[in-house]
Structure 1
Amino acid sequence: MDQPFKFYEFFCGGGMARAGLGDNWECVFANDIDEKKAETYKANWGEGEIKIDDIANIKTENLSNLADLTWASFPCQDLSSAGAGAGLEGARSGTFWPFWNLIKKLRLENRVPKIVVLENVCGALTSHEGKDFSAICSAMQKENYLFGAVVVDAVDFLPQSRPRLFFIGVQKDLIDVSFLTRTEPDSKWHTKALINAQKKLEEAAKKSWIWWNIPYPTKRKSTLLDCIEENPESVKWHSPAETQRLISLMSRANLSKLQKVKEFGKPKIGTIYKRTRKDENGNKVQRAEVRFDNISGCLRTPSGGSSRQIMIFVDNESVQSRLISARETARLMGLPDDYRLPPKYNDAYHLTGDGVVVPVVSFLSRHVLEPILLNLKKSQKAA
């Protein structure tokens, strides 16, 4: 490739989309409002491209370069099933609209990005009975994008269960993308919830909708064990009493899982999340839910103690536990060990738990984004 493709990275966090896009891409502008995340961005990528500010304050004059791609992993809290349900009207997920206003203004200036990728939680499919999903699709259609969406689970690439929704749009009349599309949805990438949400779109948006045709990834080889730090510095082991307290929060079904692993005869690693559940009398109680399938639960931002994932190590009757380490969270997001994390544990966990999975970005770039732009270059040269 002669020159790298250029991109904007909005809601950039620590630059995980940038890490996933790799050397074939050049970031010409990045933005985030979170100063702690921005400091980590600078530590890993330098200070040249990032502007720390509210998205509502960003002007097109700040975007001095043309971009082939705009990547935006906009806040998910108001679209998440765990959130308050405010959707795109919420203070956090609603930041989509000032971001999209920038896209609209770039169009008026004849420099709208060729491709736009939006990433968010799958709750965006059902938020406000699908109206938020429809609003995003209509916004893309009105700015002349052909677009579709896929649901990609990080578990295909890393030992973490983390399904996420990716909208991918390309400017109409830019290039024929039929070589990357299919006439019907593919159950691998197009879930029932996505198909149902697409059916509810307005007719104009449906006419701009495409089903992306993406190859299946190769079988993942890594397991949870590959992400474990032998001697983590960011966390300490629980005391025997703390571990026993954790076990006491398990339901019968989860205690049965633990007992089977004890009888397995070989050391095994699992993960635990504390969750609020109803008991047999309908009362809300705290439960410790464990899994031993060599896969991490979905990382989340540590808004409270229950949001921090716990590691449990079982060797016959010996059971030890501790919080997941900061570096382990980074590994579960696909970040290399030379990636510089914030020195404070909660800041590091917040950064990784709020990010986009690096190999998923790489996969989409390799199989969708780069083929579009490479074919565009070929057609322009041929002309």
Structure 2
Amino acid sequence: MRQFTYYEFFAGGGMVSAALGPRWRRLFANDIDPEKAAAFAANWGADGLLVRDVRAVTVADLPGRPDLVWASSPCQDLSLGGRGAGFAGARSAAFLPFWALVEALAADGRAPAIVAFENVYGALVSRGGADLRVVADAFRRAGYRFGAAVLDAAAFLPQSRPRLFVVGLRRDMAPPPGLAAAAPEPDRHPTALVAGLRTLLASGDAFLLAPPRPPARNIGLADLLQDDPPDAPWLPDAETARRLAMIAPRHRPALDAARAARGRVVAPLFRRTRVEAGVKVSRYEPRWDGLAGCLRTPAGGSSRQEILVFEHGRARMRLFSPRETARLMGLPDGYALPARRSAAFRLTGDGVAVPVVRWLRDTVFEPALEPAAAPLSRAPAV
């Protein structure tokens, strides 16, 4: 059986390495964060790991010719919760020196077969869609026909985590059949994506990525919770009662139903600042759909996701534990997290969900790299 090779840029704790598995051999990995890099090395080994700003990486640092280059570049300036600087911002601009390395590989006769880019949903609309066009034009100019879609980790894990995925296939490759959607699928190809790629969809340089849908998820949020995690203790009852009183009034009927339920009811919460009658009020806002909210990096109270559990009429609250956030990203319990809790939260909050990458491996990457892959029909104009 053929073994494939890959680079993992902006590698963090190595969630792409976790997803690709033993058939894939890492040639290179890069991250600027020493704590994330230490976790990467502890779990996947340090071979090929370069702890350095991507702006200081050169093509001479990149060994071999990879089948896959993956990049989950910094999202802070692209996030809907950010300031909207996009690729003009100091952090998200890291995409540009990364792409310069992709172009340098091609100039060196080592163009990777597949380049995959992952980022937040906000990348679709940041700077009025200009950043999406930067990404699209980069793939086209480098000789890649690419597919794009928004894929949500909620299809695999009890966490709402929609992300933009762009997968470029070198033009000399024969992609697997059925990879392009005949028409936009609203959950995977939102209006901003279709509008931003309209010209390239019409020319055939881009297509609407539509990997087969996975089987129904069979794991719930309650299944991933620890009973009494020492690093996320339950709050005293009095403090829980105080916070329950801060829950927005519109959630009170659901709150009363959860309190009266016979079984166990689990709801994650974020604290938000809302304006009510012209006054700023701090509110807890739970969600009742069985999904955790999107994990974030620790950057203040509004980023700290808590958990509310009703059982036999009793309410208890606490923060998510680091291990629970790792489970919500699809990492196994044997994964060694950073010792510092904030570092562990930063690692998981910045990562890419493991089963989403694994699904792309199974439905896109490996079929495209196998010699028997069949030609892909031309994507329709949109």
AA aligned to 1:216 is: R
CA contact (8 A) 2:78 2:86 kept: yes
Q: Which has the higher contact order (CA 8 A, sep 6+)?
A: 2
Q: Partner of 1:273 in structure 2?
A: 270
Stretch deviating more after TM superposition (47-56 or 263-272): 263-272
Tell me, in whole angstroms, the C-alpha distance in 2 between the residues paired with 1:34 and 1:245: 38
Tell me, in whole angstroms, the C-alpha distance in 2 between the residues paired with 1:327 and 1:87: 31
For residue 343 of structure 1, report the CA deviation from its aligned partner: 1.0
Q: Partner of 2:27 in structure 1?
A: 28
CA contact (8 A) 1:326 1:349 kept: yes
Give TM-score, length-normalised by structure 2.
Answer: 0.94
For residue 187 of structure 1, report the CA deviation from its aligned partner: 3.2
Q: Partner of 1:185 in structure 2?
A: 184
Q: Alignment partner of 2:283: what SS?
A: strand
Tell me, in whole angstroms, the C-alpha distance in 2 between the residues paired with 1:226 and 1:241: 27
Q: Partner of 1:347 in structure 2?
A: 343
CA contact (8 A) 1:174 1:376 kept: no
Q: Partner of 1:41 in structure 2?
A: 40
Is 2:237 aligned against 1:240?
A: yes
Is 2:212 aligned against 1:221?
A: no
Tell me, in whole angstroms, the C-alpha distance in 1 between the residues paired with 2:292 and 2:371: 38
AA aligned to 2:339 is: P
CA contact (8 A) 1:312 1:321 kept: yes
Tell me, in whole angstroms, the C-alpha distance in 2 between the residues paired with 1:194 and 1:160: 22
Tell me, in whole angstroms, the C-alpha distance in 2 between the residues paired with 1:204 and 1:216: 22
Tell me, in whole angstroms, the C-alpha distance in 1 between the residues paired with 2:16 and 2:306: 26
Tell me, in whole angstroms, the C-alpha distance in 2 between the residues paired with 1:25 and 1:282: 56
Instruction: State, as a whole percentage, how many aligned pairs show the same letter.
Output: 42
User: Which aligned pairs between 1:300-379 and structure 2 lie closer than 5 A?
Assistant: 300-375=296-371
For residue 313 of structure 1, report the CA deviation from its aligned partner: 1.3
Q: Partner of 1:95 in structure 2?
A: 94
Q: What is the RMSD of the two structures over their aligned residues, measured on CA atoms?
A: 1.8
Stretch deviating more after TM superposition (214-223 or 231-240): 231-240
Q: Partner of 1:170 in structure 2?
A: 169
Q: 1:204 to 1:259 in 2, by over 3 A?
A: closer
For residue 271 of structure 1, report the CA deviation from its aligned partner: 0.8
Which structure shows the bigger proportion of residues in helix conformation? 1
AA aligned to 2:246 is: L
Q: 1:21 to 1:176 in 2, by over 3 A?
A: closer
| Structure 1 consecutive aligned stretches of length 4 or more whose deviation exceeds 6 Å | 376-379
AA aligned to 1:113 is: P
For residue 223 of structure 1, report the CA deviation from its aligned partner: 0.3
The superposition leaves residues 189-228 of structure 1 with CA deviations (integer Å, 9 ceiling, x where unpaired) of: 22233222223x5x59954112223111100000011101
For residue 277 of structure 1, report the CA deviation from its aligned partner: 1.8
AA aligned to 2:299 is: S
AA aligned to 2:236 is: S
Tell me, in whole angstroms, the C-alpha distance in 2 between the residues paired with 1:107 and 1:182: 29
For residue 49 of structure 1, report the CA deviation from its aligned partner: 1.7
For residue 176 of structure 1, report the CA deviation from its aligned partner: 4.9
Tell me, in whole angstroms, the C-alpha distance in 1 between the residues paired with 2:322 and 2:69: 29
AA aligned to 2:149 is: V
Q: Partner of 1:128 in structure 2?
A: 127
User: Which aligned pairs between 1:38-117 and structure 2 lie closer than 5 A?
Assistant: 38-117=37-116
Aligned residues: 375
Tell me, in whole angstroms, the C-alpha distance in 2 between the residues paired with 1:277 and 1:335: 34
Is 2:281 aligned against 1:282?
A: no
For residue 62 of structure 1, report the CA deviation from its aligned partner: 0.8
For residue 181 of structure 1, report the CA deviation from its aligned partner: 2.5
Q: Partner of 2:152 in structure 1?
A: 153
Q: Partner of 2:197 in structure 1?
A: 198
For residue 231 of structure 1, report the CA deviation from its aligned partner: 2.5
Q: 1:165 to 1:5 in 2, by over 3 A?
A: same
CA contact (8 A) 2:115 2:169 kept: yes
